Amino acid sequence: MMSATRLATALLLVTLLAGCEMLGVESTEKIAALKEGEGKAVGSACRQANRAIEDCFALNPRMHKAAVFAGWREMDEYMRENKLEAVAPLLDRAGAKVEPQARAAVESTSDASAGTSSEPRTAPATGNKAVHAS
C-alpha cells in the first residue's frame, strides 16, 4: 500500500515538473540556442551591411563572438555564391544617419570595384574596414 502511494506521488511530481516550460521557465539549452541564433543573425546583418567583423564585434559587445563570426561567415559564403553586393548601412557607428551624398559615394565605390579587380574595397563614409571584392 505504501509503495502505491509513493508511485502515485512520484508520477504526480514528474508530471508537474514536465510542465515547467508552460510556466515560462526556460532551460539553459534553450537560452543558449536563442543566443546562438541571435549572434548568427547579427553577424549575417553585419556582413550584408558591408561591416568588417571587427566592427561588428565592437558594435555588438554583448553578443557571443563565435556566433557572430559564424553568422558573418555564412552570409559571406552565401553572398559570394550568389554574387550579391553588400547593402550600404544607413547608420554610422555612432547611430547617426549617413548623409545621402556619403551613401551615394559608398554605392558608387562598390559599383566601380565590382569588376574583376582584386583590390580591397572601402566604404569611406562609414568608417568600415576594407572588404575584398569577390
> pLDDT truncated to tens, each residue of the chain (134 aa)?
567 788 888 877 777 666 666 666 778 888 999 999 999 999 999 999 999 999 999 999 999 999 999 999 999 999 999 999 988 877 766 655 555 555 555 455 444 444 444 444 444 444 444 444 44
Count of structural domains within the chain = 1
Would 107 be classed as within a structural domain? yes
d(CA 108, CA 110): 5
Would 83 be classed as within a structural domain? yes
Report which residue type is found at 48: Q
Instruction: Name 64's Cβ contacts closer than 8 Å, sequence gap at least 6.
Output: 35, 36, 39
d(CA 82, CA 2): 68
Residue 39 exposed, middle or buried by CB count within 10 Å (0-12, 13-18, 19+) = buried
Would 68 be classed as within a structural domain? yes
Would 57 be classed as within a structural domain? yes
Give the structural domain span for 75.
30-132
Would 11 be classed as within a structural domain? no
Q: Rounded to two decimals, what is the model's pTM?
A: 0.54
